[in-house]
Structure 1
Amino acid sequence: MKEEKQLTLSFWFEFASTYSYLSAGRIESVCKKENIRIEWKPFLLGPIFKDQGMSDSPFNLFPAKGKYMWKDLERRTKKYGLPFSKPDIFPQNGLKAARITIANLDQNWIQSFILETFKAEFYSKLDISDRSVLSDILRSLNQDPENILNISESEENKNKLRSNTDEARSLEIFGAPSFIANGELFWGDDRLEDAIEFLKTK
């Protein structure tokens, strides 16, 4: 009997993104139930927003939208069992965290790093652009912060993140989280299940 090929869902996320936190907190359990492999794709929204003529998060540019988002995030984190406290800084600079992630996508601790970084930002209200914050997270995962941070800052690794952001542009990704299922774009945490359904039926 021919073994079925495991399906893959590309998960595009940004550490500054509130709704990416929701998806990062639940995507593993959702995909595990469906036997779907996750392709973790960190990228930067800042350059994409700049392409769209925005100098800040739309949740800051449009106060009513921002007010709604924080209330919605409070509801949805409660629904998913994720801890939440509104951060003092928003959006945060997730560049260092994204570089660490893209340098270590093949490591079995990286999913824990991703989620713990989101929790540090959206629950502990820490500044994830701070090297010491990221070092503490890495240390809690029994990793060597100095070595990992130094490798993540190599020019080769910086180019990997730039390449991911360029790829996001080419896929016409305009926000996070986004999911690519069989070449089709789905945007927003509430489209995760739709993306999986599309992946399974094509």
Structure 2
Amino acid sequence: MTPKIEFLFDVGSPTAYLAWSQLPALSERTGAELVYIPVLLGGIFKATGNHPPGAVPAKGMYMMRDLARYSARYQVPLTMNPHFPVNTITPMRIITAAIGTPEQDAVITALYNAMWREPCKLSEPEEITRVLTDAGLDAQAWLEKAASDEVKEQLKANTEAAVKRGVFGAPTMFVGNEMFFGQDRLDFVEEAVKGN
């Protein structure tokens, strides 16, 4: 049976962005299937009583330095979004609608790039439209899909299921029932895949 890496993410998290930048190569190296599971980080924080690292000033300052370290290690550009924190409910609904479609990777890439490579205010419909259009995607069609009750309920269900599994933040990866939190746990993810 092909092992799976479940990747629970919200594009609003810079650490999830860094993990996303590395997981496809990790998946290819190990032969594991990478399964994208969009969640709402704000919903997870609310349900678990967790808070963003920046809520503690010293922790926020440390995290900024650590993000720069990982960006350099992974050789991945990372520009802090000046609008952070950004309400990502619409982008995450768009991603939820895209899961399993031929445009899944293009949609995720466009939205991640717009958050952390060429940052913009992704809570604004006009910015989302521009970002998707620039990526060669049908922005209006994706916004319409994102507004459907089915997609809204799926994202809500994903988030609630994540909390029930013990998720308290993003990125979170699962290999089987084993949970790994943070972009700095990818070596453990790889070891777990190889051990299955």
User: Is the TM value for this pair above 0.5?
Assistant: yes
Q: Is the 8 A contact 2:81 2:116 kept in 1?
A: yes
User: Where does structure 2 lack aligned partners over 5 or more consecutive residues?
Assistant: none
Identical residues among aligned pairs (%)? 29
Aligned partners of 2:177, 2:36: CA distance in 1, in Å?
Answer: 15
1:70 maps to 64
Aligned partners of 2:96, 2:144: CA distance in 1, in Å?
Answer: 13
1:148 maps to 142
* Among candidates 90, 94, 103, match of residue 84 of structure 2: 90
Off by >4 Å, runs of 4+ in structure 1: none
Shift of 1:123: 2.6
Shift of 1:14: 1.1
Higher relative contact order (CA 8 A, sep 6+): 2
Superposition RMSD in Å:
1.5
TM-score (norm 2): 0.93
Aligned length: 196
What amino acid maps onto 2:7 in structure 1?
Answer: F
Aligned partners of 1:155, 1:166: CA distance in 2, in Å?
Answer: 16
Aligned partners of 1:141, 1:182: CA distance in 2, in Å?
Answer: 34
1:161-176, aligned counterparts within 5 Å? 161-176=155-170
Work out whether 1:38 is the aligned partner of 2:29.
Answer: no
Q: Is the 8 A contact 2:114 2:122 kept in 1?
A: yes
* Stretch moving more, 107-116 or 182-191: 107-116
2:15 maps to 19
Aligned partners of 1:31, 1:52: CA distance in 2, in Å?
Answer: 29
Shift of 1:183: 0.9
What amino acid maps onto 1:8 in structure 2?
Answer: K
2:153 maps to 159
Shift of 1:112: 2.9
User: Where does structure 1 lack aligned partners over 5 or more consecutive residues?
Assistant: none
Shift of 1:120: 1.4
What amino acid maps onto 1:186 in structure 2?
Answer: F
Q: Is the 8 A contact 1:178 1:185 kept in 2?
A: yes
Shift of 1:108: 2.8
Q: 1:152/1:139 Cα in 2 relative to 1: closer, same or farther (>3 Å)? A: same
2:192 maps to 198
Aligned partners of 2:13, 2:61: CA distance in 1, in Å?
Answer: 15
1:98-154: per-residue Cα shift (whole Å, max 9, x none)?
Answer: 111111111233223223322211232201112222222322332211111111110
1:180 maps to 174
Aligned partners of 1:36, 1:53: CA distance in 2, in Å?
Answer: 33
What amino acid maps onto 2:114 in structure 1?
Answer: A
SS state at 1:128 partner = coil
Aligned partners of 2:135, 2:82: CA distance in 1, in Å?
Answer: 26
1:101 maps to 95
Q: Is the 8 A contact 1:177 1:187 kept in 2?
A: yes
Q: Is the 8 A contact 1:113 1:137 kept in 2?
A: no
Aligned partners of 2:175, 2:132: CA distance in 1, in Å?
Answer: 31
* Stretch moving more, 88-97 or 173-182: 88-97
TM-score (norm 1): 0.90
